């Protein structure tokens, strides 16, 4: 009973903190809503450009390997680059740095200053969440290498082996395959709630608690089901960065994919973007390729159950963040019993329903086909990833540029205890790096470009599934409507006056 009372007191303290802090994990925005004419222009451009990939596409009947034909350049072919990128010093150093930063965040969150100077919120929300997601989409996926929880798990296994306790820490329970990546969908939804709805998401202590709680779940599940299995199915950020990494202009590849026997992430006979196989492969078998953007998303994927839901939750998550600042949202809250928590759950459901409806329409227009509804729904989901990336960038890049500068002063005084470790504690962020009109044009351009790539990918995927240019063309008409609708919604949100 007494323990319960203590817990209750502690919890209410957290809530008091929460209320005094900023409502949004990112702090205030410096962006002015885009003007009406530019919104209309962006919407018109989205409609016009939607037809370009269709008009340019080859009328030839594609063969099964078409998706794999794209220019590639193996960076490991350059000897000094190979030596650098595979050096134990660099890779081990990055992994150790990542674990170190993880502990810096947790310790700053627990014992550092709670209001004001503290590295945890800026590092987690801006540097890691926004910064790493941009890096993953534009350069490549580092998360499988630096994921601190996976590194800690590896270290614990090495320790256990050295002490002669066990060969590995995995309990070897079999993962129920029907669950697919649904655990990751659920955990990602909790994260979106924490980011956008929970009013204490900027409070360092809450960030530390969430990081610790998530770590416990992840470490336990990695031990229970096996590390690689959980990273592929349940670790929300591995799944998230994995999706963004398919957009990236770099890929990891294993030349002779004999190693992929029994891997449920690889297409038989090919091993692209599978980090587990890459890790176990012989060094001579590995490739690190440069490739065009987004081609990784049109490859035939083994779609685990839940993958479409995951993409939709990502899409709904970024949209929800923008929606919260619009007058429309205030009206919804005023007139209906929907609050933010309900909203963060209802919006993905609404999106999912609309998405599945359009997939079915697309199937009817395309004349059915051998592939079933589930296969279509999973395959087209990958075409939405560029839209999610583009919106995420349009929405957050000014945060990274302006608020992101805070990290320079915070590394000198991570706990807010008045330290000046690197002499940068007094660094003043520079505003006005980008002017408001540049922000407008770049936001609209990003969203429209993401939209065009998505249209191209969806058409490419339909050609692969239907194997007939005419049917593929017809099947894309409903998808065009869906994408134009979503793009116009994104632009509309950017054009709304900002309310608190």
Partner 1 sequence: MRRAAVVGLVVVLVLGGLFFLLRPDTPDDGPQDRDFDVSIKDGEMSPEEISVNQGDTVTLRVNADEPTELHVHGYDVEQEVEPGREAEIDLEADLTGRFDIEDHEIEKELGVLQVRPR
- Residues of this chain that bind partner 1 (CB under 8 A): 20, 28-32, 35, 37-38, 40-41, 44-45, 48-49, 52, 55-56, 115, 428, 431-432, 435-437, 439, 498, 500
Name the nearest CA neighbour of 109 among 94, 125, 97, 130.
Answer: 125
Q: Find the shortest distance in angstroms from Cβ 398 to partner 1.
A: 8
Q: Find the shortest distance in angstroms from Cβ 20 to partner 1.
A: 8
Q: How many CB atoms lie within 10 A of CB 188?
A: 22
Q: Find the shortest distance in angstroms from Cβ 440 to partner 1.
A: 8
Q: Find the shortest distance in angstroms from Cβ 397 to partner 1.
A: 14
- Identify which of residues 8 and 44 has a Cβ nearer to partner 1 in the complex: 44
Name the nearest CA neighbour of 253 among 277, 229, 232.
Answer: 277
Total residues belonging to the chain: 500
- Identify which of residues 7 and 115 has a Cβ nearer to partner 1 in the complex: 115
- Identify which of residues 21 and 379 has a Cβ nearer to partner 1 in the complex: 21
- Identify which of residues 31 and 287 has a Cβ nearer to partner 1 in the complex: 31
- Identify which of residues 29 and 340 has a Cβ nearer to partner 1 in the complex: 29
Q: Find the shortest distance in angstroms from Cβ 187 to partner 1.
A: 32
Name every residue whose Cβ is closer than 8 Å to that of residue 302 and which is 6 or more positions away in sequence: 264, 265, 266, 267
- Identify which of residues 86 and 115 has a Cβ nearer to partner 1 in the complex: 115
Q: Find the shortest distance in angstroms from Cβ 362 to partner 1.
A: 23
- Identify which of residues 55 and 64 has a Cβ nearer to partner 1 in the complex: 55
Q: At what angle do helices 88-111 and 204-225 cross, to 10 degrees?
A: 130
- Identify which of residues 417 and 438 has a Cβ nearer to partner 1 in the complex: 438
Rounded Cα distance between 205 and 107, Å, is 9
Q: Find the shortest distance in angstroms from Cβ 114 to partner 1.
A: 13
- Identify which of residues 52 and 91 has a Cβ nearer to partner 1 in the complex: 52
- Identify which of residues 35 and 213 has a Cβ nearer to partner 1 in the complex: 35
Q: Find the shortest distance in angstroms from Cβ 227 to partner 1.
A: 44
Q: Find the shortest distance in angstroms from Cβ 216 to partner 1.
A: 33
Q: Find the shortest distance in angstroms from Cβ 435 to partner 1.
A: 5
Q: Find the shortest distance in angstroms from Cβ 402 to partner 1.
A: 9
- Identify which of residues 52 and 421 has a Cβ nearer to partner 1 in the complex: 52
Rounded Cα distance between 139 and 449, Å, is 18
């Amino acid at each position: 009973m007494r323990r319960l009372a203590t817990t209750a007191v502690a919890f209410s303290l957290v809530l008091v903190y929460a209320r005094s802090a900023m409502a949004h994990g990112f702090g205030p925005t410096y962006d002015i809503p885009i003007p009406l004419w530019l919104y209309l222009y962006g919407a018109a451009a989205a409609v016009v450009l939607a037809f370009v990939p269709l008009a340019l596409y080859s009328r030839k009947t594609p063969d099964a390997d078409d998706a794999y034909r794209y220019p590639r350049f193996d960076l490991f072919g350059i000897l000094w680059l190979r030596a650098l990128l595979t050096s134990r010093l660099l890779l081990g150093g990055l992994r150790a740095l990542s674990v170190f930063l993880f502990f810096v965040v947790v310790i700053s969150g627990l014992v550092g200053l709670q209001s004001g100077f503290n590295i945890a919120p800026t590092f987690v929300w801006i540097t890691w969440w926004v910064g790493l997601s941009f890096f993953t989409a534009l350069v490549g996926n580092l998360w499988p290498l630096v994921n601190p929880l996976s590194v800690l798990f590896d270290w614990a296994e090495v320790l256990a082996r050295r002490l002669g306790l066990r060969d590995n820490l995995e309990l070897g329970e079999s993962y129920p395959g029907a669950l697919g990546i649904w655990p990751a969908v659920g955990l990602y939804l909790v994260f979106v709630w924490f980011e956008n709805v929970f009013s204490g998401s900027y409070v360092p202590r809450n960030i530390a608690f969430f990081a610790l709680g998530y770590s416990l779940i992840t470490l336990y599940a990695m031990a229970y089901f096996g590390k690689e299995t959980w990273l592929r199915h349940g670790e929300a950020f591995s799944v998230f960065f994995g999706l963004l990494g398919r957009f990236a202009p770099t890929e990891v590849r294993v030349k002779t994919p004999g190693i992929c026997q029994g891997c449920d992430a690889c297409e038989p006979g090919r091993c692209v973007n599978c980090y587990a196989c890459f890790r176990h492969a012989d060094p001579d078998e590995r490739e690190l390729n440069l490739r065009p953007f987004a081609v990784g998303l049109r490859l035939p994927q083994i779609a685990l159950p839940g993958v479409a839901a995951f993409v939709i939750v990502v899409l709904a998550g970024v949209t929800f963040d923008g929606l919260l600042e619009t007058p429309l949202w205030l009206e919804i809250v005023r007139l209906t019993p929907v609050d933010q928590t309900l909203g963060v759950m209802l919006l993905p459901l609404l999106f999912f329903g609309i998405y599945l409806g359009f997939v079915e329409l697309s199937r009817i227009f395309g004349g059915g086909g051998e592939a079933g509804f589930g296969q279509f729904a999973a395959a087209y989901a990958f075409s939405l990833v560029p839209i999610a990336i583009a919106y995420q960038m349009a929405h957050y890049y000014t945060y990274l540029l302006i608020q992101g500068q805070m990290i320079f002063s915070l590394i000198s005084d991570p706990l807010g205890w008045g330290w000046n470790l690197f002499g940068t504690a007094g660094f003043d962020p520079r505003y006005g790096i980008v002017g408001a009109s540049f922000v407008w044009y770049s936001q609209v351009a990003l969203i429209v470009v993401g939209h065009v790539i998505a249209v191209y990918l969806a058409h490419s995927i339909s050609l692969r599934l239907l194997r007939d240019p005419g049917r593929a063309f017809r099947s894309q008409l409903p998808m065009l409507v869906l994408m134009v609708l979503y793009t116009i919604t994104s632009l509309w949100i950017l054009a709304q006056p900002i309310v608190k």
